[in-house]
Structures are given as structure tokens and as C-alpha cells.
């Protein structure tokens, strides 16, 4: 980097400084102007072992509880044998849906994140949690991003939704819908469930796919609150950051998610409800 490289008014240098002050783990000083970095495939034997441990343990659950679209994507991309090489996975993903993987040091600002999605680039963290963090990690790491998010990007309708989200999210935020558009991502992309007519309830959301405990709770527990997906309700409902969700929205298909975002009155929902009280997930 040189000078004051910026992305839509966000100084990369300032962002790197803020992340360091907050104690975030990634090395943001290496960011390019679009907040990407090199993967640098130099992982240790210990890190490879952590990856295999995470994948082996979680695969035992996903084979039983994940939607077949997720499992199809996992098989097509081959993510479990070793820490994935970003270039190798990108080559496979491009052939399926035109998406690719870009490395980032961790969380990045909203606008460059949206820009990557709009151009079918999914940002994946380039570092992995430690053995002491197998069950919980504060920041999203490579396991969450790869094992959680990437498999369903192999599915055309979901891949199209993610691109649309990247294209339109900034406009909806400008209307005052920042929190509302974030809730849609949270409940659909991170914690979404799927149940087509005549099929059993399954999960696909990245937060569930990468969680040993919440995946089981969301799909199998009688205490999990399952709600039919409705885009207006989703956008109005608060969510939990550091505990199990008090509601899980159930989609009939990825096409339904894509159509709701593409054809639904998202701007109207924001206009009507952005200043109204939010919905309690336990009460919907």
C-alpha cells in the first residue's frame, strides 16, 4: 500500500490501526485497497491437524443435519482433507457458479464486502483458530468461512442471491435499512434452515454449519423455535450474537430466498418499519 488508499471513503490504514487497537487477530497492515491479502499457504502441521479435527467432528453432524445442497457443495469442492488452497477452490467454484474466493485478514468494512459479493467474490479469512478454540471463537476464522459459507455458493440460486445482496445492500442501507438488511443476512445466510414440502428439516446457514452445539439444537431440539421464512418478518426481528438464536427461519428453497429479495418490496419494508419497534424472536 502507499499513500492514502481508500475504498468508498474508508482508509485502509485507519481501519488497520483500529483493528490492531481492538486486538483483532488478522494482520490488516497487509491489506490491499480492496481489503484483500495473500493467503500465503504456509500453515503448520499443528494448524493442519486443527483443520482435520474440526472437519472430522463437524462432518459427522452435517452428514445428518445439513441440507443436501450444502452436502453436494462440500463434495464438489473437497474442503476437508487439508486447509483449502484459495486458488484451487476458486477454480472449482468458478466452473459451478462463477464465484471465486479472496483472502482477507478477518472482518472488513461493509462497502468493500458488498463490492466483493456484487462481483461474485467471497471474502474468506486467511487464518485458523487454535486447538483451544475448537468450540467457540469470537472472530470468524477460516473454518467458519470455508466450512460454513463456501459449500452453498456452489448452488446457482443461492449464488445469485448473494450477488444481488452485494449489489443492493448499500442502496438499502442508504434508505436507513442498515440493521434490517443485516438481519436478513443473519437469519438467512448465517442461521438459515431449509424444508421443502415432504422433506425433513435441515440446515444450511454458515453459523450453524460451523457450530458443533447450535447445529444440533437448531435442527433437533424441541426447544428450537422454527418460523416460516417471510422477508418482512426477518427484517424486523432482532437476533442473538453470543447465544443460541431464539428463532430460526425456515426456507422452502433457495429460489424462494432469491425471489423474496429480488422481487419483494424491500425498500417499502424499510420505509414502513425502520423507525418502528423490532420484533422479539421468541414471540413471532
Among the residue ranges 29-33, 38-42, 51-55, 280-284, the one predicted with the least confidence is 29-33
Q: Residue 2, Cα to own-chain centre: how many angstroms?
A: 31
**Sign of torsion, CA 52 134 71 38?**
negative
**pLDDT at position 9, please?**
53
Rounded Cα gap, residues 98 and 115, in angstroms: 15
Model confidence over 178-209: pLDDT tens digits? 999 999 999 999 999 999 999 999 999 999 99
pLDDT tier at 121 (50, 70, 90 boundaries)? very high
**pLDDT at position 18, please?**
85
Model confidence over 62-84: pLDDT tens digits? 999 999 999 999 999 999 999 99
pLDDT tier at 137 (50, 70, 90 boundaries)? confident
pLDDT tier at 10 (50, 70, 90 boundaries)? low
Amino acid at each position: 500500500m502507499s499513500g492514502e488508499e481508500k475504498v468508498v471513503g474508508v482508509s485502509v490504514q485507519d481501519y488497520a490501526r483500529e483493528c490492531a487497537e481492538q486486538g483483532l487477530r488478522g494482520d490488516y497492515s497487509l491489506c490491499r485497497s480492496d481489503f484483500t491479502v495473500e493467503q500465503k499457504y504456509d500453515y503448520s502441521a499443528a494448524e493442519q491437524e486443527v483443520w482435520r479435527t474440526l472437519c472430522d467432528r463437524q462432518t459427522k453432524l452435517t452428514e445428518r443435519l445439513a441440507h443436501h445442497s450444502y452436502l453436494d457443495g462440500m463434495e464438489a469442492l473437497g474442503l476437508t482433507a487439508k486447509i483449502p488452497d484459495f486458488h484451487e477452490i476458486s477454480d472449482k467454484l468458478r466452473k459451478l457458479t462463477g464465484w471465486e474466493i479472496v483472502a482477507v485478514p478477518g472482518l472488513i468494512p461493509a462497502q468493500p464486502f458488498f463490492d466483493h459479493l456484487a462481483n461474485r467474490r467471497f471474502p474468506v479469512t486467511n487464518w485458523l483458530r487454535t486447538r483451544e478454540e475448537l468450540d467457540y471463537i469470537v472472530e470468524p476464522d477460516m473454518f467458519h468461512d470455508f466450512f460454513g459459507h463456501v459449500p452453498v455458493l456452489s448452488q446457482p440460486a443461492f449464488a445469485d442471491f448473494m450477488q444481488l445482496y452485494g449489489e443492493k445492500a448499500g442502496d438499502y442501507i442508504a434508505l436507513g435499512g442498515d440493521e434490517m438488511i443485516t438481519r436478513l443476512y443473519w437469519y438467512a445466510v448465517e442461521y438459515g434452515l431449509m424444508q421443502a414440502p415432504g422433506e425433513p428439516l435441515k440446515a444450511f446457514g454458515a453459523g450453524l454449519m460451523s457450530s458443533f452445539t447450535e447445529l444440533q439444537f437448531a435442527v433437533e431440539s424441541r426447544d428450537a423455535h422454527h418460523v416460516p421464512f417471510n422477508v418482512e418478518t426477518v427484517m424486523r426481528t432482532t437476533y442473538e450474537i453470543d447465544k443460541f438464536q431464539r428463532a430460526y427461519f425456515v426456507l422452502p428453497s433457495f429460489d424462494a430466498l432469491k425471489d423474496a429479495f429480488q422481487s419483494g418490496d424491500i425498500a417499502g419494508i424499510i420505509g414502513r418499519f425502520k423507525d418502528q419497534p423490532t420484533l422479539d424472536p421468541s414471540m413471532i
